[in-house]
Structure 1
């Protein structure tokens, strides 16, 4: 299969957000009723410093998306990260170092029928290649023995544990927060 990875400008991202959120909903198996709230949230991220977005295209169809921005203490996710670290006795000195300079990989998703073809890796590498931070951080649902494509991708690109078993208020599943030194 042939795929194209393409950077999106913020205006292009804004226009495509409804379609991109549909990919997120399908890939994460979320309830479609979250569509409108997630569209608003993704569009709000456009103003974050260091915003970058990439899409994967197959036969003129968008089949994957990745985007992120520089981490900041004024974001909801940063507050969640700090809360989780405090609950586990941190932040440690190493965790403080990460908190001072990280790129938040907010979302990376590939439609299920296109997973397993290296698109996640290409999107990950593309969105992080120009990140102006020392670390990249992301969260992913926990799975037994890390036995899924997402964990295999993250481990193979150098991601390490920052926080495990984190519970977000709006999701009953535990999540792992992983970090990597940049550049990958």
Structure 2
């Protein structure tokens, strides 16, 4: 687990991982870097990283409390047709903003371990995130979220500057499958008080 200050020191390296994992060019990389700097100030910000043998970041994730007035939350809320659904899923949720693993390190369980660690004691009743849609729905990220019990909240969502369609997923917390904390509590988010 990293504090916002620890994460900020290595933000450029994290953005390199993000750009590699998402296939972003220079413009998208730059925009993602600006968004990350803004996200560091969000309430309840928590980050986790997996370091390689040379102390390099091979994977990272971060998130924060979802609140009205945040760009991502308001964009998603505007795309959800039912007000009650917006409130149920978004109000006070844990937003997983990024969960990225270098392509050469994918398929080793790092994403799942980071996600379980981040959510095992999130202190919220729901978690929400978005991921790029694929034609066959078989990307590693897609399979990970499905395997971990996430459900569709919105499909076909478009973000400014990105031509891809995204799915918004959510799931209830805490884990109800008995697996909470199984990967170790050291990676867990401290409970967030509202």
Q: Given the two structures, how large is their TM-score scaled by the length of structure 1?
A: 0.89
Q: 1:93 to 1:35 in 2, by over 3 A?
A: closer
Structure 2 alignment gaps of length 5 or more: 176-194
Report what 1:80 is aligned to. 75
| Alignment match, 1:4 | none
More divergent stretch after superposition (34-43 vs 120-129): 34-43
Structure 1: any 5+ residue segments left out of the alignment?
1-6
1:92 Cα deviation (Å)?
4.8
Count the aligned residue pairs.
174
Structure 2 CA distance for aligned equivalents of residues 95 and 75 of structure 1: 14
The alignment partner of 1:144 has SS state of coil
User: What per-residue deviation string (whole Å, max 9, x for no partner) do you get for residues 128-155 of structure 1?
Assistant: 2232211111110111231111111001
CA distance in 1, matches of 2:78, 2:113: 31
**Maintained 8 Å contact 2:77/2:86:** no
Distance 2:120 2:72 in 1: 22
State how far apart, in whole Å, the 1-side matches of 2:148 and 2:108 are. 16
Relative to structure 1, is the Cα distance of residues 94 and 176 closer, same or farther in structure 2, using a 3 angstrom cutoff? same
Partner of 2:102: 111
- Scaled by the length of structure 2, the TM-score of the pair is 0.85
The separation in 2 between residues aligned to 1:48 and 1:141, in whole angstroms, is: 23
Q: How does 1:137-152 map to 2 (within 5 A)?
A: 137-152=128-143
* RMSD between superposed Cα atoms in Å: 1.3
Are 2:39 and 1:48 aligned? no
Distance 1:53 1:28, change over 3 A: same
Asked if structure 2 preserves the Cα contact closer than 8 Å seen for 1:82 and 1:91, the reply is no
**SS, match of residue 126 in structure 1:** helix
The residue that corresponds to 1:63 in the other structure is: 58
SS of 1:65's equivalent? strand
Write 1 or 2 for the structure with the bigger share of helix. 1
Greater Cα offset, 69-78 or 34-43: 34-43
Distance in 2, matches of 1:144 and 1:40, equals 29
Q: 1:63 to 1:73 in 2, by over 3 A?
A: same
Aligned to 2:9: 15
> Among residues 146, 155, 170, which one is paired with 2:161 in the alignment?
170
Structure in which a larger fraction of residues adopt strand: 1
Q: CA deviation at 1:167?
A: 1.1
